[in-house]
Amino acid sequence: MGLPIDKLVVATNENDILDRFWRSGHYEKHAVHGREAEGGLAQDGVKAHEDGVRETLSPAMDILVSSNFERLLWFLAYEFASAAGMDDQWNKKQAGQEVEQWLKDLKNKGGFAVHKEILDAAQRDFESERVSDEQTKETIKDFYVNGGYVLDPHSAIGVAAALRSMQRAGAGTDHISLATAHPAKFAGAVELSLQGQDFDFASVLPEEFVGLDKKERRVTVVPRGAGWQGIRKIVVEQVEQELRGERA
């Protein structure tokens, strides 16, 4: 789209399937290649979960297979196919077939590997980092103690990855890390990270949310077996009540 970006930094938690792909070219549910294969343990001393997703302080990242990654794979395969000098329709068809086979191998064999040229293309535009729970907590604490800013755990992972990228890039390369959520949404992780610090969530809550936990709770119980028709009826009735001003 024309935005002058040098690279995008992929930040993962301990469920590091994407980080391992960018380092090895292998996209695998289990840690067969990549960080662990090189020395037994990752840089942070944490071994990837062998039985599935590891529960972490950043639950929105607790996945093994990213649905959006399939789109990038197609563009990488399309670029690779285009080098053959065939027409564009052939390139697109070839890319689709390549991705389809990769995903079949992921489902049936637990993983797949891409050509070196495809990995090189991926590394041209992206770099990756894996951030452990301990490093996440350290980042949250460091930014609060030294800057007074409260990070949620997901944003902290992005910040930690960006800081490492800054060390590699050196002076003159600006980095932008985008926050992904309000820290109060993940209060448990933030409070765990800021134990012993003079911190109160009231200081970071938007005005509309202050005291929200003390207000009346209203719950509508949907009868068992109501089906979508029953749920629709309840929603319509409540909307009509609000329009008539009967629900505050």
pLDDT bin (cut points 50, 70, 90) of residue 243 is very high
pTM (2 d.p.) = 0.80
> Alpha-carbon Rg of the chain, whole angstroms?
23
Percent of the chain topping pLDDT 90: 65
pLDDT at 40: 47
Mean pLDDT in the chain? 89
CA distances (Å), origin 93, targets 38, 70, 72, 76, 107: 36, 15, 15, 13, 21
pLDDT at 20: 93
pLDDT over 80 at 60, yes or no: yes
pLDDT bin (cut points 50, 70, 90) of residue 46 is low
